[in-house]
Amino acid sequence: MRSIVASLLMLIFLPLPLEAAEPFVLQLKWKPQFQFAGYYIAQDLGFYVEAGVDVEIRAGGPGLDSLNEVVEGRADFGVSSSNLLAAKINGAPVKALAAIFQHSPARFVTLKESQIERAEQLAGKRVMLLPNNASFELVTLLSQLNLMDSIERLDTSFNIDSLVDGEADAFNAYVTNEPYDLQEWGVEYNLIDPADYGIEFYADVLFTSDSVANRKPEEVRAFANASLRGWQYALDNPSHAIEIVAKYAPQKRLSHLRYEALAMHEHLSRGVVPIGYMNSERWLSIKDYLASIGEVPHNAKVDLEQFIFPIAPPVFDWVEYRIHFGVAGATVLLLLGWALWAHREKLRVESELQHTFEMATHDALTGLSNRYLFTDRLVQILAQKERKQMSPLVAFIDIDKFKAINDTLGHQAGDEFLQALGVEMLSETRPADTLARIGGDEFALLVTQYGSGSEVAICERLRQAVARVVDQYELKHLQVDASIGAIIIDSYLPNDPESILALADREMYAAKCSQFEKIRVARLSTLRGALFKVA
């Protein structure tokens, strides 16, 4: 009996198990991309875990406001903009933790052919902007130049096609996004930067709510510093950073992530000030800009000590920085030194990213484009096919009896043959074409511009290139040849690269099985019965 009572007492007084702490929620302001690399890296490499915080990263998108998510308690942290200060002045209980971008990437983009190169030329033009004053950097520029009443303001379509298709004369852009698309499409453009007019805003400001900051100040510091550590890693290791972000942003092409990484580098101002640095005087200047566009009253007061949450290490003080280096001459030397360092750093990043891009997008054996890059290029061409009214050609090339080379002469001889084949076939293409090795003995060619009726001739040149290499290596007795199937993309379905490649492969196989032809060319519009039967 006593043992039963003792057991019951032990159960009563045993400590209850602690509930697992809810993870912090970080709400991004847009879809996954390199713009948020630091957070993805801190998550992927365990920086948050090392700091003792559990973090859930939520993607943003159209119609989702990170500020509302944090203020209304659905998220603990958010990524916003300099407009966070206006929200604070207007009563939102928020605190700024770090300004990731020292310079805003917001730009107006115009077509080169429009000859609109300066903001003053936007008078009387159709200008796309986010609703209200959400494009506050661009609205401030227009306001400072007294242009708001002289433009035809249009709500943004969130699609750069609106500019290319002539629906607008200027488009609200992010320098890491829309210019990439225009470059890929071969469209020349101009960028109008508010900073060229002395208008500087922070961008991608990391923030939290007063409630979270007051209840968990140490956890907030730990989270912020782990995030900044992620950003430092992204700057120091851009290639690895791209690989990490690609896992979270599978919809982004590798070439775009590389473009973003390079474009963002100069906006972080590493080397001049620490990553995340915020300056009180700069925030007061931003307040004046926000007042000029009606976001806050002109006489609005703000207690920056209640707005800026101090994280370790202490916020960098530019005034102390100047005093420390003394006289103006030293400052000039410092800036010159920094400019030299920044130039060298940019060259280093460009070189590393180019090397990484080459490794990820080119075949190690032949140096030709690989399947990834071929697919990437085909996606781009399909996206602009309708606009440019073109019918691209995709050819699938298979080397007949290639196995016989490996079996009789060895794999080294087979590799040398493929390398020579890549060089010879490439000599029959133009710079605008894309020739890729997409399998062991399989190649693909993408041609965007060619004369009508020349499709067979294009394929025949490739076959003759194969024949020359066969002669060079004295392989005729092995009956090595090429079978080629090509598709003229004159229809809009299917519109995915793999299906088109599969149809070209099907035509190639038909040529391989034929006794009379080694090249088959078909129009996509004539293959409707096969569109939904491609394995």
In a domain, 324, yes or no: no
pTM: 0.69
d(CA 383, CA 398): 27
d(CA 509, CA 534): 13
Number of H helices, E strands in the chain: 21, 15
Q: Looking at the DSSP assignment, which residues form a beta bridge with residue 74?
A: none
Place of tokens 């896992």: 247
Which band of pLDDT confidence, cut at 50, 70 and 90, is reported for residue 9? very low
Amino acid occupying residue 33: Q
Phi first, then psi, for residue 500 (nearest 5°) are: -65, -40
Return the SS3 of 445: strand
In a domain, 325, yes or no: no
Domain endpoint, select from 298, 315, 332? 315
Which band of pLDDT confidence, cut at 50, 70 and 90, is reported for residue 6? very low
Q: Are residues 111 and 79 in the same domain?
A: no
d(CA 195, CA 106): 10
pLDDT given at position 17? 39
Structure tokens at 431: 């710079």
CA distances (Å), 82 to each of 25, 194, 261, 304, 489, in order? 21, 14, 22, 13, 47
Residues 124-137: tens digit of each pLDDT:
999 999 988 889 99
Nearest alpha carbon to residue 36 among 364, 347, 257: 257
CATH of the domain at 249: 3.40.190.10
Contact 33, 234 (CB under 8 A): no
CA distances (Å), 446 to each of 112, 177, 335, in order? 28, 25, 48
Nearest alpha carbon to residue 357 among 257, 431, 426, 439: 257
DSSP state of 177: T
Q: Are residues 300 and 212 in the same domain?
A: yes
What would the mean pLDDT of 200-206 be, rounded to a whole number? 95
Q: What strands, in cross-sheet order, belong to the sheet with 24-27?
A: 55-58, 24-27, 77-81, 203-209, 94-101
Between 511 and 493, residue with greater pLDDT: 511
Q: Are residues 415 and 480 in the same domain?
A: yes
Residue 313 has pLDDT above 70, yes or no: no
Return the SS3 of 513: helix
Q: Are residues 142 and 289 in the same domain?
A: no
Domain endpoint, select from 274, 289, 315? 315
Give, in degrees to the nearest 5, the angle at Cα 120 between 119 and 123: 105
Q: Are residues 74 and 122 in the same domain?
A: no
Structure tokens at 381: 């061409």
Contact 106, 130 (CB under 8 A): no
In a domain, 12, yes or no: no
d(CA 326, CA 405): 73
Q: Are residues 281 and 423 in the same domain?
A: no
CATH of the domain at 387: 3.30.70.270
In a domain, 191, yes or no: yes
Structure tokens at 9: 């007492």
Can you say whether residue 67 is alpha, beta or left, with left for phi > 0 and alpha for psi between -120 and 50 degrees?
alpha
Neighbours of 430 (CB within 10 A): 9
Residue span of the structural domain in which 251 resides: 24-102+202-315
In a domain, 353, yes or no: no
Q: Are residues 217 and 152 in the same domain?
A: no
d(CA 507, CA 117): 49
In a domain, 162, yes or no: yes
Nearest alpha carbon to residue 477 among 408, 410, 397: 408
Amino acid occupying residue 40: Y
Q: Looking at the DSSP assignment, which residues form a beta bridge with residue 103?
A: none
In a domain, 326, yes or no: no
Q: Are residues 117 and 211 in the same domain?
A: no
In a domain, 81, yes or no: yes
Q: Are residues 421 and 487 in the same domain?
A: yes
Q: Are residues 382 and 250 in the same domain?
A: no
Q: Looking at the DSSP assignment, which residues form a beta bridge with residue 173?
A: 107
pLDDT given at position 491? 76
Which band of pLDDT confidence, cut at 50, 70 and 90, is reported for residue 527? confident
Q: Are residues 414 and 297 in the same domain?
A: no
The percentage of the chain sitting over the pLDDT mark of 70, rounded to a whole number, equals: 84
Residues 134-176: tens digit of each pLDDT:
899 999 999 999 999 999 999 999 999 999 999 999 999 999 8
pLDDT given at position 330? 54
Q: Are residues 217 and 126 in the same domain?
A: no
Does an H or E element contain 256, and which?
Answer: helix 254-265
Mean confidence (pLDDT) of the chain: 85
Name the domain count of the chain.
3
DSSP 186-221: T--EEEE-GGGGT----EEEEEEEHHHHHH-HHHHH
Does an H or E element contain 25, and which?
Answer: strand 24-27
Structure tokens at 74: 């659905």
pLDDT given at position 184? 80
Residues 211-255: tens digit of each pLDDT:
999 999 999 999 999 999 999 999 888 889 998 999 999 888 888
Domain endpoint, select from 268, 283, 315? 315
Please return the burial class of 467, using the count of CB atoms within 10 Å of its CB with bins 0-12, 13-18 and 19+. Answer: middle
What's the sign of the alpha-carbon dihedral 92, 96, 97, 103?
positive
Which residues have CB under 8 Å from 475's CB, separation 6+?
A: 405, 417
Which band of pLDDT confidence, cut at 50, 70 and 90, is reported for residue 529? low
